[in-house]
Each structure stands twice: as C-alpha cells, then as structure tokens.
Amino acid sequence: MDEKPLQWHAAFQAALQIELMEDREFLQFLKEYNLSEKPLQIDTLIIKLEPGRKIKKSLGRIFRQYNVVEYKSPGDYLSVNDFYKVMGYACFYQSNTEKVMEIRPDELTVTLISNHFPDKTIRFLTENHGITITKEYPGIYYMEGLLFPIQIVVTKKLSREEHIWLSRLRNDLNMEEDIEPLARAYEGKQKNPLYAAVMDMIIRANRNLYEEGKNMCDALRELFADELEEGIKRAREEATAEAIQATILDNMKEGVAAERISEKLQRRFKISPEKAREYMSKCGAEV
C-alpha cells in the first residue's frame, strides 16, 4: 500500500507559532483563513494584537498589523503564479471590508516561505517590475518595489540557532547538525501539541536517519524511538482502517450479505463483532 503524502502544512503552522513564541500572546494566528464564502484561503494570517509591537525573531521583524503568509512544502516550488496568487489574496483581504481603508495597505505585509530560493520567480519580477531584493538575515530576503512589504524566507538557509524548528522542517536533515540539536530542544516539550506536531513530521520525513544512523547516542535513540513507535502505530491503524473499508465496499458491490461481511471482517482483521458493525455503519452497510 502506498504511503500517504506528508502533511507539511499542519507541521508548518505549528513551527511558525513556535518560532514566534516569545511574542505569541501579542499575535493572533488564523490558519487557512477564508477570504470569502468561496474556497479562497490564505495559508496563515497573522494579526498583531498590539499594532506597534516589534517582533523579536528576525522572521517577524517585517510584520505590520496584518501579515499574509504563504508556505510551500519542501518538494514544492514558489512559482510566478504562486506569487501573483498570494498578492491577489493580500489585495482581496485588504479590500473585502465594510468600510473603505478599514485595513490600511501600509499595515499589510506578505511572507513567502519555501525550502528553495525562487530564482526564476525573482528574475521575472526583477525584469518585469523592477523590484529590488536584499538579504536582511540568513535565509530572509526583503523585496521592495511592489504593493506591500514582502519577504522571502528560505527555510534551509535560516539560522539554525535562531529558528531551530522552521529551519529543520525539511526532509534532508543531517544527524549531527540538525537532529541532535533539535532533539535537545525537544526535551521536556513532548506533551506540547505544537512541538509534537513539528517533531512528528520531521521524524517521519527523515526516518532514514533513525533507521540508518549507527552513531546515534542512546538518549537520542530513546527519544526517537518513542516518536517513531507512535507514528508507526498510527500508520498501521490508518492502513488497517483503509483495508477494512475497501473490504466492506468490495463485498457490498458483490451483494454479500451484511452478516457474512461482518464474519469476514472479524476473521481477517481480528476485530470484535461490535467493531465490525461500527466500520460497516460508516460505509453505509446494513448492520
């Protein structure tokens, strides 16, 4: 059975909040913010609850009151179309208000986050719009010459010390430079859902480091073992549920009686009659 694609965006949402944790109480994070009744969604909208407050992390120093954030997963690329889409979202967000200038354009920023520097997109914008781009911090570039202040954040180029989590939200990590410092930062935070969500994604995306790493210290191996065990257990449960559903639907198409389907499920998947009826009910089978 093919593995499910990694859900990078959920981990990114958690990592972003972790990175801005020092100012968390002064920020409002709105995930997949709907721009209208139709499915137009901003990845993340960050609103300053104290408009004039300066954000400590370099990632947030460009922020004004309203901040549109677009995230591209490690295997994706920030294209010219993506750029215009996000700019369109920002314009729509500014204009879709009851009063004129309710959201001032000079209080809005755009952040584009990608694992790769978008060379082609930058070249196009430079040649066609005359933008200028400057490197402000490691992995953080400011763009000038367009409607709003814009920054491009290249995760793999971020400071590993300042942005411990976001810089490592990738699938090409190094054991000594990336994983061991990350594991130390994770100690004592295993029960925090934000940290757990990011760590779970990082481990699943870089599982080969655990499976192939021969020089991993015992403490690190123990930490990863707990995370992997939970991830493997969850993956097995999801795979079993999918197999049960497929079995039910196949038998329903063949006209197999509900009682007979239940018996097959109990025998094949070692589940109770009650559990079999629960799965069948979810599939619309008579129980």
**Coil, helix or strand for 267?**
helix
Q: Can you give the pLDDT at residue 160?
A: 93
214, pLDDT greater than 60: no
Q: Can you give the pLDDT at residue 231?
A: 59
Q: What's the rounded Cα separation, in Å, for the pair 40 and 18?
A: 26
Q: What's the rounded Cα separation, in Å, for the pair 7 and 192?
A: 19
What is the mean predicted confidence (pLDDT) over 33-50?
78
Mean pLDDT for the chain?
85
Q: Can you give the pLDDT at residue 247?
A: 87
What is the mean predicted confidence (pLDDT) over 175-195?
85
Q: What's the rounded Cα separation, in Å, for the pair 272 and 247?
A: 16
Residue that wins the pLDDT comparison between 207 and 17: 17
Backbone dihedral angles phi then psi of residue 172, each to the nearest 5 degrees: -135, 45
Question: Which is nearest to 196 in space by CA: 2, 10, 1?
Answer: 10
Q: Can you give the pLDDT at residue 235?
A: 64
Q: Can you give the pLDDT at residue 211?
A: 57
216, pLDDT greater than 60: no
What is the mean predicted confidence (pLDDT) over 74-88?
93
What is the mean predicted confidence (pLDDT) over 116-140?
95
Backbone dihedral angles phi then psi of residue 69, each to the nearest 5 degrees: -125, 130
Q: Can you give the pLDDT at residue 219?
A: 46
Q: Can you give the pLDDT at residue 285?
A: 74
Question: Which is nearest to 83 in space by CA: 38, 133, 47, 36?
Answer: 133
* Order of all β-strands in the sheet with 150-154: 27-34, 41-48, 66-71, 108-114, 150-154, 140-144, 132-137
Over residues 139-172, the pLDDT tens digits come to 999 999 999 999 999 999 999 999 999 999 999 8
Q: With contact defined as beta carbons under 8 Å apart, do 70 and 77 qualify?
A: no
Note the pTM of the prediction, 2 decimals.
Answer: 0.69
Q: With contact defined as beta carbons under 8 Å apart, do 18 and 185 qualify?
A: no
210, pLDDT greater than 80: no
List Cβ neighbours of 25 (8 Å cut-off, separation of 6 or more): 49
Q: To 5 degrees, how large is the angle CA 99–CA 103–CA 104? A: 115
Comparing 85-94, 193-202, 222-231, 258-267, which segment has the lowest mean pLDDT?
Answer: 222-231
Over residues 268-285, the pLDDT tens digits come to 888 888 888 888 888 877
Q: Can you give the pLDDT at residue 257?
A: 85
221, pLDDT greater than 60: no
- For tokens 């090409």, the residue is 172
